[in-house]
Structure 1
Amino acid sequence: MQKLQCSKEFMLHGSGLARHSLEIPFWRPPLKRKPATTAALLFLTVLLVAAFTSSSWIDTSSFFIENLRNKTIIISEKPKIPIQKIEIPLECTSSKNQTQTCPTNYPKTFQTEDLDPSSNPVCPDYFRWIHEDLRPWKTSGITRDMVERANRTATFRLVIIGGKAYVENYRKAIQTRDVFTIWGVLQLLRRYPGRLPDLEIMFDTEDKPQVRSSDYRGQNAPGPPPLFRYCGDKETLDIVFPDWSFWGWAEINIKPWHSILKDIREGNNQTSWIDREPYAYWKGNPFVDDRRQDLLKCNVSDQQDWNARLFIQDWILEGQQGFKQSNIAHQCTYRYKIYIEGYAWSVSEKYILACDSVTLIVQPKYYDFFMRSMQPVEHYWPIRDDDKCRSLKFAVDWGNHHKKKAQEIGKAAGSFMEEQLKMDYIYDYMYHLLNEYAKLLKFEARIPEGAVELCSEVMACHAEGIEGRKKKFMMESLVKGPSVSSACTLPPPYEPQALAAFVRRKINSIMQVKKWEKGYWDSLNKQ
Structure 2
Amino acid sequence: MQNFSPVYYLISVLIACFGQVTKTLVWGPGLEPNVVLPARFFYIQAVDTKGSNFTTSPGEKAFEVNIVSPTEQFTRIWVQVLDRQDGSFVVRYRMYSPYILRGPVYHEGCNCPQPSGDLWEKHMKCPGSFAQIDKDLSVFNSLDPDLISTEVPVRFGQRQSLCHYTIKNNKVYVKTFGEHVGFRIFMDAILLSITRKVLLPDIEFFVNLGDWPLEKRKSTDKIHPILSWCGSNNTRDIVMPTYDLTESVLETMGRYVSLDMMSVQANTGPPWHQKNFSAFWRGRDSRQERLELVKLSRAHPQMLDAAFTNFFFFKHDESLYGPLVKHVSFFDFFKYKYQINIDGTVAAYRMPYLLAGDSVVLKQDSGYYEHFYSQLQPWEHYIPIRADLGDLLEKIQWAKDHDEEARRISQKGQFANLVCDYYLFVCVCVNIFYNFSCIYFLQKYAELQVTEPKVREGMELVEQPTDDLFPCYCQRTGSNTVVI
The aligned runs of 1:329-348 (5 Å cut-off) are: 329-348=331-350
Give me the whole-angstrom Cα distance separating, in 2, the residues matched to 1:431 and 1:481: 24
Give me the whole-angstrom Cα distance separating, in 1, the residues matched to 2:255 and 2:381: 24
Task: State the AA in 1 paired with 2:306.
Answer: L
Q: Give the match's secondary structure for 1:283.
A: strand
Q: Which residue of 1 aligns with 2:447?
A: 439
Question: CA 1:481 to 1:413, structure 2 compared with 1: closer, same or farther past 3 Å?
Answer: farther
Kindly state the Cα deviation for residue 262 of structure 1 after the two structures are TM-superposed: 2.4
Give me the whole-angstrom Cα distance separating, in 1, the residues matched to 2:108 and 2:387: 50
Q: Which residue of 1 aligns with 2:112?
A: 107
Q: Give the match's secondary structure for 1:299.
A: helix
Give me the whole-angstrom Cα distance separating, in 2, the residues matched to 1:159 and 1:206: 20
Kindly state the Cα deviation for residue 169 of structure 1 after the two structures are TM-superposed: 1.2
In structure 1, runs of 5+ residues without a counterpart are 1-80, 91-105, 317-322, 463-474, 485-527
Question: CA 1:419 to 1:262, structure 2 compared with 1: closer, same or farther past 3 Å?
Answer: closer
Q: Which residue of 1 aligns with 2:363?
A: 361
Q: Which residue of 2 aligns with 1:309?
A: 305
Q: Which residue of 2 aligns with 1:167?
A: 174
**Of 178, 182, 185, which aligns to 2:184?**
178
Kindly state the Cα deviation for residue 140 of structure 1 after the two structures are TM-superposed: 3.8
Q: Is 1:235–2:240 an aligned residue pair? A: no
Give me the whole-angstrom Cα distance separating, in 1, the residues matched to 2:413 and 2:381: 5
Kindly state the Cα deviation for residue 289 of structure 1 after the two structures are TM-superposed: 1.9
Give me the whole-angstrom Cα distance separating, in 1, the residues matched to 2:255 and 2:340: 21
Q: Which residue of 2 aligns with 1:450?
A: 458
Give me the whole-angstrom Cα distance separating, in 1, the residues matched to 2:358 and 2:473: 33
Kindly state the Cα deviation for residue 324 of structure 1 after the two structures are TM-superposed: 8.5
Task: State the AA in 2 paired with 1:453.
Answer: L
Does the 8 Å CA contact 2:338/2:396 hold for their aligned counterparts?
A: yes
Give me the whole-angstrom Cα distance separating, in 2, the residues matched to 1:185 and 1:148: 23
The aligned runs of 1:126-141 (5 Å cut-off) are: 127-137=130-140, 139-141=141-143
Q: Which residue of 2 aligns with 1:379?
A: 381
Per-residue CA deviation, residues 87-123 of structure 1 (Å, 9 max, x unaligned), is 3747xxxxxxxxxxxxxxx3354579x9695697452
Q: Which residue of 2 aligns with 1:419?
A: 422
Q: Which residue of 2 aligns with 1:10?
A: none
Q: Which residue of 2 aligns with 1:271?
A: 270
Q: Which residue of 1 aligns with 2:290?
A: 292
In structure 2, runs of 5+ residues without a counterpart are 1-100, 313-324, 477-484
Give me the whole-angstrom Cα distance separating, in 2, the residues matched to 1:144 and 1:290: 42
Does the 8 Å CA contact 2:231/2:368 hold for their aligned counterparts?
A: yes
**Of 86, 106, 110, which aligns to 1:86?**
106
Q: CA RMSD in A?
A: 3.6
Question: CA 1:400 to 1:436, structure 2 compared with 1: closer, same or farther past 3 Å?
Answer: same
The aligned runs of 1:505-516 (5 Å cut-off) are: none
Higher strand share: 2
The aligned runs of 1:39-78 (5 Å cut-off) are: none
Give me the whole-angstrom Cα distance separating, in 2, the residues matched to 1:348 and 1:147: 33
Kindly state the Cα deviation for residue 431 of structure 1 after the two structures are TM-superposed: 1.7
Q: Give the match's secondary structure for 2:105.
A: coil
Q: Which residue of 2 aligns with 1:392?
A: 392
Does the 8 Å CA contact 1:379/1:409 hold for their aligned counterparts?
A: yes
Question: CA 1:237 to 1:83, structure 2 compared with 1: closer, same or farther past 3 Å?
Answer: farther
Q: Which residue of 2 aligns with 1:512?
A: none
Give me the whole-angstrom Cα distance separating, in 2, the residues matched to 1:443 and 1:365: 35
Question: CA 1:331 to 1:150, structure 2 compared with 1: closer, same or farther past 3 Å?
Answer: same
Aligned length: 346
Give me the whole-angstrom Cα distance separating, in 2, the residues matched to 1:352 and 1:274: 18
Question: CA 1:115 to 1:261, structure 2 compared with 1: closer, same or farther past 3 Å?
Answer: closer
Q: Give the match's secondary structure for 1:300.
A: helix
Give me the whole-angstrom Cα distance separating, in 2, the residues matched to 1:116 and 1:448: 29
Question: CA 1:226 to 1:481, structure 2 compared with 1: closer, same or farther past 3 Å?
Answer: farther
Give me the whole-angstrom Cα distance separating, in 1, the residues matched to 2:393 and 2:356: 22
Per-residue CA deviation, residues 460-503 of structure 1 (Å, 9 max, x unaligned), is x79xxxxxxxxxxxx9xx9x999x9xxxxxxxxxxxxxxxxxxx
Same amino acid, percent of matched pairs:
21
Question: CA 1:379 to 1:420, structure 2 compared with 1: closer, same or farther past 3 Å?
Answer: farther
Per-residue CA deviation, residues 257-276 of structure 1 (Å, 9 max, x unaligned), is 896222211212x4112211
Does the 8 Å CA contact 1:229/1:239 hold for their aligned counterparts?
A: yes
Q: Which residue of 1 aligns with 2:197?
A: 191
The aligned runs of 1:215-226 (5 Å cut-off) are: 217=219, 221-226=220-225
Kindly state the Cα deviation for residue 424 of structure 1 after the two structures are TM-superposed: 4.1
Give me the whole-angstrom Cα distance separating, in 2, the residues matched to 1:279 and 1:150: 48
Kindly state the Cα deviation for residue 124 of structure 1 after the two structures are TM-superposed: 8.5
Kindly state the Cα deviation for residue 166 of structure 1 after the two structures are TM-superposed: 0.7
Per-residue CA deviation, residues 429-483 of structure 1 (Å, 9 max, x unaligned), is 122112211111111111122211113417xx79xxxxxxxxxxxx9xx9x999x
Does the 8 Å CA contact 1:279/1:334 hold for their aligned counterparts?
A: yes
Kindly state the Cα deviation for residue 374 of structure 1 after the two structures are TM-superposed: 0.7
| Stretch deviating more after TM superposition (425-434 or 231-240) | 425-434
Does the 8 Å CA contact 2:136/2:239 hold for their aligned counterparts?
A: yes
Q: Which residue of 2 aligns with 1:521?
A: none
Does the 8 Å CA contact 1:156/1:204 hold for their aligned counterparts?
A: yes
Higher helix share: 1
Q: Give the match's secondary structure for 1:457.
A: coil
Higher relative contact order (CA 8 A, sep 6+): 1
